[in-house]
Structure 1
Amino acid sequence: MPGLDDVLAQAAGLINDLVLRDTVRIRRPSLGAPVLDPTTGQLTYPPSATVYEGPGALQADSAQSGYNGWPSAGEPFVQETKSMSRLMTPLSAPTADQDDLVDVTAVHEGGDTALIGPVWQATDPGRANTLGAVRVTPIDRKQEARRGGTA
């Protein structure tokens, strides 16, 4: 359908210019077994492979229903919540796999620098659509282990 294709191409152009303003990286964790580092005595995992690095945007789910939590087996309370967000990348970007890792490597001028540092995990594969202007991947922010402190 030429008319609809033209509209979608225009929408994709607008989204790429106005929304996908940060630089995101998608990494695929290695499936290799950890190797003992003789110098440190620590197990080290093979490095992740970078699948994509380029324009993108992260959008947090603003609905209260977007925050879910379930207690782990044998736990009386929730240890970690699921705060669903979305990664948006151009249609030309590869589709992320479930469990791929996502981080923001640069934000646009005036952007939220709090996006740099945290890591998100793809909770499902990136979505492909017949009528799409941007690729959307559901992601969840990985929680850091809680650290004990001294008073």
Structure 2
Amino acid sequence: MPGLDRALAGVTRWFTANILIDTVRVTLPAATEPVLNTSTGNLEYPEGAVLYEGPGAVLAGNSAAEISAIPDVQQPWIQETKSRYLLYTPLDAPVAPKDAVVTVTAVHDPARSALLGRAWTCPDPGQAATVEIARRTPLDQIRIPGGAT
């Protein structure tokens, strides 16, 4: 429908200019094993292939129902939660596949740097719809052992 397409084009331009203002990177996990760094004693994971790096936004999920807990049969309480987020990228960005890793590499405002240093995994491929203004991909935050983000 020409009228709908014209209206969506305007919304897409606005969304891109006002929401997709940070830089995100989508990578595939490396297929090789980690290597021991003898000077630090730590395992170092090789970099995965970069699928996309460019404009995007990572936003927190908007519903408490999107936070699910992972029960541990050894504990009488729930130890860990999955933090649900959404990745938005332009429509011409590639679809992020399942298990891709997403990071925010630059933010538009230095005061908004809380997402830097965090990583997310894609539990499912990027979503698609017949009417879209941006690509939307569900994310789960990757937690570092010991409770740090």
Q: TM-score range by the shorter chain?
A: 0.7 to 0.9
Which residue of 2 is the match for residue 46 of structure 1? 46
3-state SS of the aligned residue for 2:79?
coil
| 8 Å CA contact retained: 1:80, 1:143 | no
Give the number of equivalent residue pairs: 147
Could you tell me how far apart the structure 2 residues matched to 1:38 and 1:123 are?
A: 34
1:39/1:107 CA distance change after superposition, 3 Å: closer
3-state SS of the aligned residue for 1:54?
strand
Could you tell me how far apart the structure 1 residues matched to 2:42 and 2:5 are?
A: 54
| TM-score using structure 1 length | 0.85
Unaligned runs of 5+ in 2: none
1:2-151 alignment, distance < 5 Å: 2-35=2-35, 44-109=44-109, 112-146=112-146
Could you tell me how far apart the structure 1 residues matched to 2:54 and 2:61 are?
A: 22
Letter of the 2:115 partner, please give it: L
| % identical aligned pairs | 43
- Please give the root-mean-square deviation of Cα atoms over the aligned residues, in Å: 2.1
Unaligned runs of 5+ in 1: none
| TM-score using structure 2 length | 0.86
TM-superposed CA distance for 1:42, in Å, is 6.1
1:60/1:142 CA distance change after superposition, 3 Å: same
| 8 Å CA contact retained: 1:97, 1:126 | yes
1:128/1:21 CA distance change after superposition, 3 Å: same
Letter of the 1:9 partner, please give it: A
